């Protein structure tokens, strides 16, 4: 799952607050992601699909106060096309990069989180200002392993 993390230590109003020890639920780290993620998380690479019986759990996670979803509109889609053409990124990954680049001036993206070494190699090369891409900095208990 690609999660775009609003700069830890900032609220949605972009005021400085003390850094949290890590978890989103503390209200000091925010997940900013494309609405595309709602579908993508149902079948992660090399993992069993999330069953329909868990639909409410998945939806509840994305409805939480620390998750902000951004629509994939024409502007984001065209920016994603440019990322595919200019950097050779897979289309679904390009959608996440384009979302991170398009969320607006009042949102500061600290980093696009991924376990994908190919995307991490592009850190600092895409966007103005350049988008940082790296491994998630969330507590290990939130991750069941590399996705």
Domain that holds residue 81: 3-139
State the Cα torsion 75-101-4-125 to the nearest 10°.
Answer: 130
pLDDT tens by residue, the chain, 147 residues: 344 443 333 333 332 222 333 444 454 557 888 999 999 889 877 888 999 999 999 999 999 888 889 999 999 999 999 999 999 999 999 999 999 999 876 677 889 988 899 999 999 999 988 999 999 875 554 444 444
In a domain, 145, yes or no: no
CA distance 12 to 41: 24
Tally of CA atoms within 13 A in the half-sphere of 123 that contains its CB: 15
pLDDT of res. 139? 54
Q: What's the number of domains the chain is made of?
A: 1
Tally of CA atoms within 13 A in the half-sphere of 139 that contains its CB: 10
Residue 134 belongs to domain with CATH number = 3.40.50
Ramachandran category for residue 7: left, alpha or beta (phi over 0 → left; psi -120 to 50 → alpha)? beta
pLDDT of res. 138? 58
CA distance 84 to 92: 9
pLDDT of res. 110? 84
Sequence-ordered strand ranges (E) for 1-147: 3-6, 30-34, 67-70, 109-113, 133-134
Beta-carbon contacts of 140 under 8 Å, excluding residues fewer than 6 positions away, are: none
In a domain, 96, yes or no: yes
In a domain, 146, yes or no: no
Cβ–Cβ < 8 Å for 70, 34:
yes
pLDDT of res. 10? 35
pLDDT of res. 47? 83
In a domain, 144, yes or no: no
């Amino acid at each position: 799952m690609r999660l775009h993390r609003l700069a830890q230590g900032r609220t949605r109003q972009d005021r400085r607050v003390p850094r949290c020890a890590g978890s989103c639920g503390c209200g000091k780290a925010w997940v900013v992601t494309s609405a595309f993620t709602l579908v993508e998380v149902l079948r992660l690479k090399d993992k069993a699909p999330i069953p329909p019986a868990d639909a409410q759990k998945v939806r509840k996670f994305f409805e939480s106060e620390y998750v902000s979803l951004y629509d994939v509109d024409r502007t984001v889609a065209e920016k994603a096309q440019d990322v595919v053409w200019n950097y050779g990124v897979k289309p679904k990954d390009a959608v996440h990069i384009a979302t991170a680049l398009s969320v607006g001036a009042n949102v500061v993206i600290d980093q696009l989180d991924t376990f994908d070494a190919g995307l991490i190699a592009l850190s600092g090369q895409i966007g103005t200002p350049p988008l940082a891409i790296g491994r998630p900095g969330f507590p290990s208990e939130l991750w069941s392993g590399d996705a």
